Chain A
Amino acid sequence: MPKRTDIKKILLIGSGPIVIGQACEFDYSGTQACKALREEGYEIVLVNSNPATIMTDPETADHTYVEPLSVEFLELIIQKERPDAILPTLGGQTGLNLAVELWEKGILEKYKVEMLGANYEVIKKAEDRKQFKQACIRCGLDLPRSSFAYTLEEAQVAVQEIGFPCIIRSSYTLGGTGGSIVYSREEFDVKAQRGIDSSRIQEILIEESIEGWKEYELEVMRDKKDNVVIVCSIENLDPMGVHTGDSITVAPAQTLTDREYQIMRDASLKLIREIGVETGGSNIQFAVHPRTGRQVVIEMNPRVSRSSALASKATGFPIAKFAAKLAVGYSLDEIRNDITRETPASFEPTIDYCVVKIPRFTFEKFPEAKDILGVQMKSVGETMAIGRTFKEALQKGLRGLEIHHIGFDNKNDYRLIDDDKIKHRLREPNASRIFYIKYALQKGWSVEDIVETSRIDIWFIAQLKQILDFENELLAEIEQTKILSTVSLRKAKEYGFSDAQIGEFLKVNESAVRQMRKQQGIVATFKLVDTCAAEFEAYTPYYYSTYETEDEAVILNEAAAKRDGGKRRKIMILGGGPNRIGQGIEFDYCCCHAAFSLREQGFETIMVNSNPETVSTDYDTSDRLYFEPLTFEDVMNIMDVEKPDGVIVQFGGQTPLNLARRLQQAGVPIIGTSVDSIDIAENRERFAELMDKLGIAQPSNATASSVDETIAAASRVGYPVLVRPSYVLGGRAMRIVYDEETLLSFIDEITDVSRGHPILIDKFIEDAMEVDVDAVCDGENVFVAGIMEHIENAGIHSGDSACVLPPHTLSEEILATIKTHTMNIALSLKVVGLMNIQFAIKGRQVFILEVNPRASRTVPFVSKAIGVPLAKMAARIMAGEKLSDFKLPDVDHLGQVAVKESVLPFSRFSGVDIILGPEMKSTGEVMGLASTFGMAFAKSQVAANQALPRSGSVFISVNESDKRNIAFMAKRLHDLGFKIYATKGTAKVLRSSGVLVSAIDKTGESSRNILTSIDKGEINLIINTPSGKKSQTDMRAIRGAAIMRNIPCITTLQGAWAAVQGIEASLKEGFTVESLQSYYKRSL
């Protein structure tokens, strides 16, 4: 069937900001879809509020709307663009839910927009648990016993039949929000009610617990002709009970016989047909009872998902790209497999390696939250590793996770951990369970006991035991002979042991091991990921390392060099590894841009990364892809084979930067800003010296390397102080401290995180405004691309605070100073590439806070706000071009205002206070774009899912120093029609300023207090600035309640002022939408 010609314009919805459960995998899928559809000549309208995505690059779609993902905004866009069709299956749950809402509100019908891939009925059938259950029964498939409930009473009746433990799942939510496991009647009511509340349709499913069963997932694709293929099977190491996103998973499935696998495959085929997913990808989850083999269906996603991104990277089969082609009428056999070229897409990939995915958690950021895992997803990222065996892939994955593990190793002495603790940590799933398995094995637990306690399948535990047994053999050999034989060393590498691990055994450093094994001819070999286990020749160079006899990278590189004469210069780009808070999609965006632009300029680009969610690990992004951990060893192994002319370390965040010095010492040609300049920026003394020389004011500061020194330094600098470790990203373990007592209470954490690097102590400048600057420098000239004014005061991590570009309150004089400082710093550091600077402004004084001579988190935001792809430009400059080679816009006179707002994961971590501080906690960001600040701010709030109210009641409670300034705002809100509530103290001040206000009690003071009002839904906006320790506790409850009910809660005066302007703009002007392409055309 040829592609459809009756549709011309297609609307694609992205997935918005990165949140837990929905990360950059949807940028990968959306970008693939855009490319695939434009290749076919369709006009693409794209909507996504997340500026840090490749899909919102103006080149990716024809009309790119960086606008909030809400029905209101989508209707405006549909009205303006009049697309013929909408493709709802590539933007994650957000995209799917929005499409459903657009259909339900009659908007799609009104504007005659057809749903491609999956229509409304299909989505309902798959997503609505009741309809899904019926569909499974019609297919003759087994399911866990279950029942639906819409009220607590119904739930109580249902659970009597189902029994405990049972699982509560909330319908239409992301990543398992509102879901939980219930073990007893006592905890049932609270959890059931929470589930009902989090569901968009107040629906929960109560299910027989299949906790501890084996968990599987199949990735399925179907075309219009009803051809169905399975792309990949996945088996979870963590059995049922842990969200798949939080489980260690393995592809392909390991412990199913062919007969059982085919039953699962047949069930998937039946189900996708019964549900009626017309075209595209779906994933279906199964559970298998370990002793009876009973197979039950768990759920199905009628769209591409995190797992489909993983499956694509694990097999080389680009699911999203093909899903897009199928949606416009092609059938699988009409699509070519890019990798083999000769064979069609209507086949099932087969692989000749083992893939392990390991989730990355950031519980350290939320010390109040326990690292316990359950049915609600908590991980913020993942790493994928490929090896010829499970043992090798697992160890590669663990060292690629960047949690200071160098394989399946020990952080603690197992002898110091008692059996009770081990038992507990094995039984209750948690972020470090895999390492407790090792402790248990070391303490002599039998494989069977560990299986019994953890309910992890024996296959996995036995594999782990093999790793440990071999480690013990190595240690014994070293004990006896003081060295390792070639045979043992080779086997260690085949088992995935890192050079660093072997070095620990031999008590030598990593480089010595590397040298030793190279002398003995033990070198990494690279194999291809080719979808077909070498049955056909592959043309896409997508590699992983292993220790085998044949190296295909060498063979293919020689052939390629012969073809093009080997004349192209090679640039290698080091990616950022797994996403975490502080290092996410923004850095991947920069790496992709480097690859795109250098490729355009005729370079041969080589990407190294281990994150399966990203665009950078799409085999299309660079000329060659190495799916490898970002460690010194793994990068050096690639160096040996590729010998690139230049290596870029400044785009992938802290991960590659931390390797820079060692790589340089090993002779790696790092291009761009020198490693020494990076050191000046990070090294306190050298930095202070430079600032003095340039006459730039710094808050008084000091460096310490021990606990005592830190305490002394803090009192010397004078409280309040900002304390932090050096060489970390995202403000890890960074605190503002007002007294010595507080400093002492967390000094251990700081020293632990700093790992031998010095601890930095700065005077904290209170009530200052923070400014971020992104610039590009070629060593001779500087382009100050963006000056961002933070909306919150300094002291909140720049990644968490909202900011506006261009700045809207800074004076010309201050701006001029900022620019001069930026240029002087860039030139004296001889920056070649990107640079980010943070300033604090207090009155007319400009202080420098820090300089980062590398890509920053704000690069994509600034690039989109000003219409200049900074990372592309920087990459070309690093490769030798000059700023004068580029046409630069007048960034001082932009027609548009852009506001960046961050998105926080607090609702995932119960018990965590939402107060922001210098440690970054946000997972993602959105951009609001408009012609005025108020409008841009209002849009950013809608996009961050905290839309400002346009009517209703506002609750105000502010600290003493803010009381004077709040009156004016309260009056404005009152004039705009809001009812004002305030706590007694605040109310008094407001009244005296002539604001009509009702006083309301704080928590606990009476039965009618602010908490009950929030619960009743009587409050639409909260303005609450923190003060004193005592009121902190009250306010914590208020903010907690606000989060549960999704009420915007503003905690700074500046934020409140921005909110007032936003409300005013949305009421007076009304929302309008405009594409990036149109903004940029105007500002030319």
Chain B
Amino acid sequence: MKEAVLYLEDGTCFRGRSLNTHGDTAGEVVFNTALTGYQEVLTDPSYAGQIVVMTYPLIGNYGVNDDDVESDRIHVKGFVVKEFCRTHSNYRATKSLIQYLDEGKIIGIEGVDTRALTRHLRISGAMKAIISTEDFDLKSLKAKLDKVPSMEGADWVKEVAPKKPYVWKASGEKKYKVVVVDCGIKRNILREMAVLGIECHVVPPSMSAEDILAMKADGLFLSSGPGDPAAVTYVIETVRKLIGKLPIFGICLGNQMIGLALGGKTYKLKFGHHGGNHPVKDLENDRISITSQNHGFCVDVNSLDKNDVEAIHINLNDKSVEGLRHRKHPLFSIQYHPEACPGPNDAKYLFGEFIKMIDKNKK
């Protein structure tokens, strides 16, 4: 157990203690308010480049297991909690969270007043931060942090996206073929689509529109992923060419890239939405879902042509737009995470909406 420091871009400092991985790590620091699901959070590629603070103070209670992973590795840059659990309890657990972080060489720190840190981020906004277990010289930390690029304008997709295509088979009978552009997809999106009979042909984000069309799929899915959507110009270009040619569904980064492809703008939220308790109203059926959220950027709905695009989902907390539908073409997208993992399953019906859109297009 060693001293550790979390130094923020604005000069604020929080003290804590490190686990067994030492050194420095830097990134954008964001807080997540989910009570459960730390293993899913750690392995969600959308967190690439970020240091995650869990607002719930007791983390690691149920250990980790082999199933609850959203990708093949931990993606967070650093993990900040109040207290790591030493003796976990769960019938599925295969190891402790501490061991898991150690194996992933992830710097995790505890003993931090995470509520004070969260309040600070809420008031001042998400910002860059550096964790160090060795360097306690603030000047030196500042110098290191200055070299870390800002989240705005950063293309993190290329860090996490696959280099080669792969196929995720339908569980049971294959009814549909969908091209999935993987910008850092969460596995549960693939699992949910597989359950509905979709065979996912997962492709790297660099795949061209022509190549995608040549795959003769029933639909196109644009995945979630990390970083600033505006920086992923190559996918936005591809999407622009495919609108109207294929039924398109996008989640999170997918939604943002669609917004940009439609000629709109995205902006950075002050501290983003990261958690599992956000109420979102589906304006098409007047239903409220409690949703899993993880985004730092948002589509500016006013930048879109209202004759082409309508907002179909609204976050009831801050009234931000959480879903878009094209009025003429088969296309809709969702800012939050209907695939849950972690978080509530209330919005799973949206995968069914994608199927309906595909079916309608087939006729």
CA–CA, A332 and B287, complex, Å: 11
Judge whether B317 is part of the interface by a CB distance below 8 angstroms.
Answer: yes
- Say yes or no: is B36 at the interface (Cβ < 8 Å to chain A): yes
- A1007-1034 Cβ-contact flags toward B at 8 Å (1 or 0): 0000000000000000000000000000
Contact partners of A715 in chain B: CB under 8 A: none
- Give chain A residues whose Cβ lies under 8 Å from the Cβ of B345: 262, 265-266
Within 8 Å of chain B (Cβ to Cβ): is A620?
no
Residues of A near B122 (CB, < 8 A) are: 534-537
Instruction: Of the listed stretches B136-144, B172-180, B234-242, B275-283, name the one at the interface; the rest are far from the partner chain.
Output: B275-283
Selected from A257, A269, A333, A352, the residue in CB contact (under 8 A) with B90 is A257
CB under 8 Å from chain A, chain B span 248-298: 275-279, 281, 286-288, 290
* Cβ-defined contact, A293 with B91, below 8 A: yes
Say if the beta carbon of A752 comes within 8 Å of chain B: no
Q: In the complex, A226 Cα to B287 Cα: how many Å?
A: 8
Contact between chains at A257 and B316 (CB < 8 Å) = no
**In the bound complex, what is the Cα–Cα distance between A229 and B122 (angstroms)?**
25
B113–A548 contact, CB under 8 A? Answer: yes
Q: Which residues of B, 15-50, contact A by the 8 Å Cβ criterion?
A: 15, 31, 33-37, 39-40
A354–B275 CB distance below 8 A: no
State A197–B16 Cα separation when bound (angstroms).
60
How many residues on A have C-beta within 8 angstroms of the other chain's C-beta atoms?
61
* B118 pairs with A347, CB closer than 8 A: no
Tell me the nearest residue of chain B to A491, going by C-beta.
Answer: B111
Check A343–B317 contact: CB distance below 8 A.
Answer: yes
B233 within 8 Å of A (CB atoms) = no
Chain B residues whose CB sits within 8 angstroms of the CB of A259 once the complex forms = 67-68, 341
Does A389 sit at the interface, judged by CB under 8 A? yes
Closest B-chain residue to A291, C-beta based? B91
- The answer, yes or no, to whether B55 is at the interface (CB within 8 Å) is yes
A351 engages B56 (CB within 8 Å): yes
Contact (Cβ within 8 A) B287 A535 = no
Asked whether, in the complex, the Cβ of A333 is within 8 Å of the Cβ of B344, the reply is no
Is A254 touching B58 in the complex (CB atoms < 8 A)? yes
- Are B61 and A258 within 8 A (Cβ)? no
Residues of B contacting A346 in the complex (Cβ-Cβ under 8 angstroms): 279, 288, 316
State which residues 244-302 of A face B: CB under 8 Å.
252-262, 265-266, 269, 289-293
Considering the chains assembled together, what is the distance between the CA atoms of A269 and B85 in angstroms?
Answer: 30
Interface centre among B37, B67, B87, B345 (most CB of A within 10 A): B87
Set of chain B residues within 8 Å of A527, measured between Cβ atoms = 115
Given A388-B57, A388-B82, decide whether A257 and B68 contact each other with a Cβ distance below 8 A. Answer: yes
In the bound complex, do residue B287 and residue A227 qualify as a contact, i.e. CB atoms below 8 Å apart?
yes
Give the size range of B's interface with the partner.
35 or more
Point out which of A255, A291, A532 has the most chain B C-beta atoms below 10 A from its C-beta: A255
Instruction: Report A-chain residues with C-beta under 8 Å of the C-beta of B105.
Output: none
A534–B116 alpha-carbon span in the complex (Å) = 9
Whether A258 contacts B36 by the Cβ 8 Å rule is yes
In the complex, A993 has a CB within 8 A of chain B: no
Shortest CB distance B142–A (Å): 21
B116–A459 CB distance below 8 A:
no
Give every chain A residue within 8 A of B343 (Cβ-Cβ).
Answer: 258, 262
A827 to chain B, nearest CB (A): 52
Q: Which residues of A contact B287 (CB under 8 A)?
A: 225-227
Counting CB contacts under 8 A, is B88 at the interface?
Answer: yes
- In the complex, A688 has a CB within 8 A of chain B: no
The answer to whether A352 and B55 have CB atoms under 8 Å apart is yes
Query: Looking at the complex, which one of A229, A253, A255, A458 makes contact with B290 (CB distance below 8 Å)?
Result: A229
Bound-state CA distance A534–B58 (Å) is 16
> Does the CB pair B56–A350 fall under 8 Å?
yes
A257 & B65 in contact (Cβ 8 Å cutoff): yes
A180 to B19, CA, bound (A): 48
User: Does B83 count as interface, using CB distance less than 8 angstroms?
Assistant: yes
15 chain-A/chain-B pairs, Cβ below 8 angstroms = A230-B290, A252-B56, A257-B65, A258-B37, A258-B342, A261-B35, A262-B345, A344-B279, A347-B290, A351-B56, A352-B114, A353-B57, A462-B86, A548-B115, A552-B119
Residues in chain B within 8 A of chain A (CB atoms):
14-15, 31, 33-37, 39-40, 55-58, 61-62, 65, 67-68, 82-83, 85-92, 113-116, 118-119, 122, 275-279, 281, 286-288, 290, 316-318, 340-346
> Which A-B residue pairs are the 3 nearest by beta carbons?
A462-B87, A258-B37, A550-B116
- Interface set of A (CB-CB < 8 Å, partner B): 225-227, 229-230, 233, 252-262, 265-266, 269, 289-293, 332-333, 342-344, 346-354, 388-390, 447, 457-459, 462-463, 465-466, 527, 532-537, 548-550, 552
